[in-house]
Amino acid sequence: MDAEKAHALGFAAIRACRASGVSRILRRITAPDPSLRTEAMGLTFPSPFGLAAGFDKGATGINALTDLGFGHVEVGTVTGRPQPGNPRPRLHRLIKDKAVINRMGFNNDGADQIGPRLAAAHADLWHDYERGTRPIVGVNIGKTKVVPVDEAIDDYLHSTRTLAPQADYLAVNVSSPNTPGLRDLQHIDALRPLLSAVSEEADKAAGRHVPVLVKIAPDLSDEDIAAIADLAVELGLEGIIATNTTIRREGLGLRSTTEEIESCGAGGLSGKPVAARSSEVLAMVRDRVGPDMTIISVGGVTSGDDVAERLRQGATLVQGYTAFLYEGPFWAATINWRLKKQMKHRGH
């Protein structure tokens, strides 16, 4: 089946479970153990493991996803204006590698439509969960494709004003390979005013402090990664999300044939093959920012042992996405179970 169609059907089935009233039963089965609660950015995450941006682009299934045991769900990427994304087909599986290549292009309904959905989802979460157990909702924001790079700040600020009041945290995405010019915003001279403006506007719009993180690409040079880490410290950002998808194909140990890879075309590659570079970037960023800043590690995690290893390497939180497509709906619950078991073992 076409990968995007399969994703849509699978997500519809997850939402149908919520609508059918089995959510209370699911939550009892999948709820993270209290020992997994993690404090970060002034928030309490019921588990250090969450769902990365890209799965729920439109905030249409937040509550259904949290029923599956994710400690947080990052919605988006959301842009200032609605946009259809790139032409189909734009999502491809590399099954031998448990990987995905996508060039979705930030397809979403835009900040104005997604804001009310976030508000409704948050209200339901406050109703469904006790204090300290409510899953966290992050919002990932990016640049509208038709907006020129030199007007990007205004575009991000529209999303910030609209979405910050409903977000537990904001992630500024400047690292997707599927929006022309977006990665140029990772250059320090462009990134500094963008992050400063978003941070200031988020607090103003929400009437409270909203943590802001920046999401970076694995394809940056080590020098550029160090420069962004230094900038995050300088600006007082709450954290860094490392990393997004990669445009690389060589040197990843891919098992798929050259023909299979080339047939997928351009786009960002995610899944197991990016694990090594994601770990490298995590180590570099942690070394640069010190022990206190939040780092969300994402890229190539499949098992509870993978998540535990990222936490040992210095991640505060860990996200996954691609393996969800391969491992099935109880993936997060399985990871939480494994993390709990490891913690008990270390305790003995």
Provide the number of structural domains found in the chain.
1
Residue 103 counted as an annotated binding residue: yes
Q: Is the Cβ–Cβ distance between 294 and 239 less than 8 Å?
A: yes
Three-state secondary-structure class, residue 139: strand
Give the pLDDT confidence of 193-239 residue by residue, as tens digits. 999 999 999 999 999 999 999 999 999 899 999 999 999 999 999 99
Who contacts 259 (Cβ-Cβ below 8 Å, separation ≥6)?
Answer: none
- Name the pairing type of β-strands 99-102 and 38-40: unpaired
Could you give the percent of the chain with pLDDT greater than 70?
99
Q: For residue 154, give Cα distances in angstroms to 111, 146, 208.
A: 13, 13, 21
How far is Cα 54 from Cα 207, in angstroms, rounded to an integer?
28
Q: Are the beta carbons of 232 and 192 closer than 8 angstroms?
A: no
- Residue appearing with tokens 């529209």: 158
The one catalytic residue in 23, 159, 175, 176 is 176
The answer to whether the CB of 341 falls within 8 A of the CB of 307 is no
Report the run of H or E that residue 168 belongs to, with start and end: none
**Model confidence pLDDT, tens digit, residues 117-173:** 999 999 999 888 887 789 999 999 999 999 998 899 999 999 999 999 999 999 999
Q: What is the mean pLDDT of the chain?
A: 93
pLDDT (tens digit per residue) in 23-45: 777 888 888 999 999 999 999 99
Task: List, for residues 71-126, the tens digit of each pLDDT value.
Answer: 999 998 999 999 999 999 999 999 999 999 999 989 999 999 999 999 999 999 98
Predicted local confidence at residue 243, as pLDDT: 93
**204 sits in which H/E element:** helix 188-206
Question: What pLDDT does 348 receive?
Answer: 40
Residue 105 is labelled as binding a ligand? yes
- The answer on whether 246 is annotated among ligand-binding residues is no
Q: Going along 119-267, which residue ranges are E strands?
A: 136-142, 169-173, 212-216, 239-242
Label the pairing between strands 49-51 and 317-320.
Answer: parallel
267 is in an annotated binding site: no
| Active site annotation includes 176 | yes
Q: Could you tell me the end-to-end alpha-carbon distance of the chain, in angstroms, rounded to an integer?
A: 47
- 172 near 156, Cβ under 8 Å? yes
57: left (phi over 0), alpha (psi -120 to 50) or beta: alpha
Q: Are 307 and 318 in contact (CB under 8 A)?
A: yes
Q: How far apart are CA 98 and CA 96, in angstroms?
A: 6
Exposure pattern of 123-151 as b/e (b: 16+ CB <10 Å)?
eebeebeeeebbbbbbbbbbbbbebeeee
pLDDT digits (tens, 9 = 90+) for 41-57: 999 999 999 999 999 99
CATH code, domain carrying 186? 3.20.20.70
The helix, strand and coil proportions of the chain, stated in percent and rounded to the nearest 5, come to 50, 20, 35
Rounded-to-integer distance, Cα 139 and Cα 114, Å:
10
State the pLDDT at residue 186.
82
CA neighbor of 119 nearest in space, from 57, 63, 72, 199: 63
Handedness of CA 124, 127, 133, 138 (dihedral sign): positive
Domain residue limits at 261: 3-347
Q: Is 272 annotated as a binding residue?
A: no
* Res. 347 pLDDT band, cuts 50 70 90: low
Is residue 106 marked as binding? yes
- Look up residue 219 and give its DSSP letter: T
Strands (E), 191-271: 212-216, 239-242, 268-271
For residue 345, name the pLDDT band (cuts at 50, 70, 90): low
